[in-house]
Structure 1
Amino acid sequence: MAESNFLLFKSADQILALEAEYSRQVVPLEQLYGIPGVSGAILGLIPAAGRALPVIDLVKLVGLGSGAANSLALICEIDGESLALPVEQVIGFVREEVSYDSDLLSEEMLIGGYFGGGHKGRVINPNALMTALQNRVLSA
């Protein structure tokens, strides 16, 4: 188990962490274009980096609470696929030692305990995120 850098952010009133290597940029979530006939885990598309990226609904995908309105989108690239996660607030980076199990989200834990007292949050397993998304899209 090695230490990694994580990006901490708030989504659906919860603190979440994603390994920094998967994050590309944060953009305003201004224009969200719906996709006819698509429901479930995809909220719509946003223009970013010269292409249209799917915005993933973490509330539906992993059962998070509804939370506040998201004004930002975290652009991620996982396994060569680009996607956007709705974000209320970006908190910053921390270095943490985390081992993944097969769950999409870890149990709640103290993340970045040495930095400002840390934050109680959950870590996103990027591989499980992609698997869950593919399963939800294929079954929709």
Structure 2
Amino acid sequence: MTTGTAYLLVDVAGTGCALPQRAVREILPLPRLWRPPGAPGALAGFLNLAGSAVPVLDLAVLFGLGRHVTTQQVTAQAALYRHLVLLHGEAPLALLVDRVADVVRVEAGQVRPVDDAATLNGCVAAEIRLGDTLVHGLAIDRILLAEERDRLAARTWDAQARLAEWAA
């Protein structure tokens, strides 16, 4: 019998992170995104997924890990390895990562909780030991601040309205 919790391991600008597998709906190759003028840097753009506007957050920019280029500036070769992680949830959301590395099952003894005050909004919920490596276990529901979630919801509504204007 398999025990432990499953995590999706991703690379974000050279930093290893883990997302709870139960939060992941789908992994997609990096498609062409459309980005409205004046969008905040962390909003890589929107994905048109079967007529639904899905906001895409660039985790490297959001976490201040140094990269700030639009998806149009990414070379074709670099884009080959970048992925969107589409999340489960009431509001559509995808995360842009540099690479999806693996899915691993982690035993409770490999996970050390991180104090909520140690990271912005408690977005890193745990340190996960994988051999000699520590990766950041992300809390999906705390990646954005409440105000950021509200603003993203408004932008998503606007993007959805724009898509609806062009529907047949």
- Quick check: TM above 0.5? yes
More strand by share: 1
> Which runs of no fewer than 5 residues in structure 1 stay unpaired?
none
Task: Please report the RMSD computed on the Cα atoms of aligned residues, expressed in angstroms.
Answer: 3.0
| TM-score, scaled relative to structure 1 | 0.74
Greater Cα radius of gyration, structure 1 or 2: 2
Q: Is the 8 A contact 2:26 2:86 kept in 1?
A: yes
Q: Is the 8 A contact 1:33 1:45 kept in 2?
A: yes
- Seen in structure 2, the aligned counterparts of structure 1 residues 50 and 5 have a Cα distance that, compared at 3 Å, is farther
Letter in 1 for 2:17: L
- Seen in structure 2, the aligned counterparts of structure 1 residues 81 and 16 have a Cα distance that, compared at 3 Å, is same
More helix by share: 2
- 3-state SS of 1:39 partner: coil
Deviation at 1:36, TM superposition (A): 2.3
Q: How many residues align?
A: 131
Matched, 1:128 2:142: yes
Structure 2 equivalent of residue 64 of structure 1 = 65
Greater relative CO (CA pairs within 8 A, separation 6+)? 1
> Which runs of no fewer than 5 residues in structure 2 stay unpaired?
69-73, 117-121, 154-168
Separation in 2, partners of 1:57, 1:82: 15
Separation in 1, partners of 2:141, 2:132: 25
Deviations 1:13-41 (A, max 9, x none): 21110100110111121201011232233
Letter in 1 for 2:138: I
- 3-state SS of 1:17 partner: strand
**Identical residues among aligned pairs (%):** 30
Structure 1 equivalent of residue 87 of structure 2 = 76
